[in-house]
Amino acid sequence: MTPPVLFGNNPLTALWGTSAQNVWAAGFDGKILRYDGAIWAVVPSSVPTNQGRHINTIWGSSASDVWAGGYSSTLTHFDGTTWSLSTSPPVALFGLWGTSASNVWVVGGWDVNGRMSHFNGSTWSTVTTYPNSLQSIWGSAANDVWAVGLSGFMLHHDGQSWSTVPSGTSAHLWTIWGASATNVWAAGAGTIRHFNGSVWAEAHDTQGAAVVAIWGSSASNVFAVGNNGRIFHFDGVSWSAMSSPTIAHLRAIWGSSANDVWAVGDGGTILHYH
């Protein structure tokens, strides 16, 4: 990781892109940034400032169909030209993922109030509510989608319905990502867990370090980031701690390839691995 670039003082908490020349980052007070392959710049987000509308998650089906969601029911959409506010489920939003412009999921909640909503290409509708806040969502396909949340709460969607799945932990799970349907990672408060297609089990004890985001370019190149600038790497065999150029809490990670990985966090921190 290169030395951190500081972009303002507010935390950056979301990160996603379509290529090395099109990367989005967002964070507190509705701030949205875009990297064009050369520089990061602030982009008008349509999100009102000074209202606690912090953005927690970004995902898109293409460069012209991007969603960003966060606190205070904030949900904004980018059509390739401008960002515009959208009608949102009435809850804090923490995770977005989908398979197309007409199949998008968002998860969120607060403490014991978890919520799952779906976008069919025209409208958002609440699918159901849950006893635990949902923090992250990822899938390998429309019929293989995972969601995780507080107190080890975990759900799986088989294309027809959602069902609870034993995660094997009561720790808060903040993030989920996979290389395939039989190689999925979930992480959170002191733990990184792995799904082999049959069961979930602990793969790495982070010694109390909170992991809040995971991304990989392949099954043998996976990164996890979290509090106090902690960075972990999986090489296909084992997890190990990486040297970090910052002690700022890292909140999100995404890359276009194994040699182009971004991480963002508190204090406007932006890290680049290349």
Lowest mean pLDDT among 16-20, 28-32, 141-145: 28-32
Average pLDDT, the chain: 94
Count of C-beta atoms within a 10 Å radius of residue 208: 9
Q: Stretch 260-266: mean pLDDT, rounded? A: 98
pLDDT over threshold 70, residue 51 = no
Whole-angstrom distance, CA of residue 46 vs CA of residue 249 = 27
266: tokens are: 């508190």
Say which residues have a Cβ less than 8 Å from residue 81's Cβ, sequence separation at least 6: none
pLDDT over threshold 90, residue 9 = no
The correct answer on CATH 2.130.10.10 for the domain covering 5-273 is yes
- Residue bearing tokens 């867990």: 193
pLDDT on residue 4? 65
Strand order across the beta sheet in which 83-85 lies: 55-62, 65-70, 75-78, 83-85
Q: Where are the domains of the chain?
A: 5-273
Backbone phi and psi for residue 44, each to the nearest 5 degrees, phi listed first: -55, 130
Contact 93, 62 (CB under 8 A): no
CA 29, 264, 121, 45 dihedral sign is: positive
SS3 of 28, please? helix
Q: Stretch 249-256: mean pLDDT, rounded? A: 98
Angle at 58 (CA atoms; ends 107, 112), nearest 5 degrees? 25
Residue 250 vs residue 72, higher pLDDT: 250
pLDDT on residue 53? 81
List, for residues 201-244, the tens digit of each pLDDT value.
999 999 889 999 999 999 999 999 999 999 999 999 999 999 99
Pairing outcome for strands 65-70 and 250-257: unpaired
Angle at 263 (CA atoms; ends 113, 24), nearest 5 degrees? 80
List, for residues 180-205, the tens digit of each pLDDT value.
999 999 999 999 999 999 999 999 99
What does the H/E/C string look like for 199-218? CEEEEEEEEEEEEEEEEEEE
CA 154, 271, 180, 18 dihedral sign is: positive
pLDDT on residue 77? 96
C-alpha to C-alpha distances, 231 to 23, 64, 151, 223, 264, nearest whole angstrom = 20, 31, 23, 7, 12
Whole-angstrom distance, CA of residue 36 vs CA of residue 21 = 4
pLDDT on residue 128? 84
Closest CA relative to residue 195, chosen from 240, 264, 139, 258 = 139
Q: Stretch 73-83: mean pLDDT, rounded? A: 94
- Exposed (0-12), middle (13-18) or buried (19+): which is 178, by Cβ within 10 Å? buried
pLDDT on residue 123? 93
Whole-angstrom distance, CA of residue 191 vs CA of residue 206 = 6
pLDDT on residue 122? 94
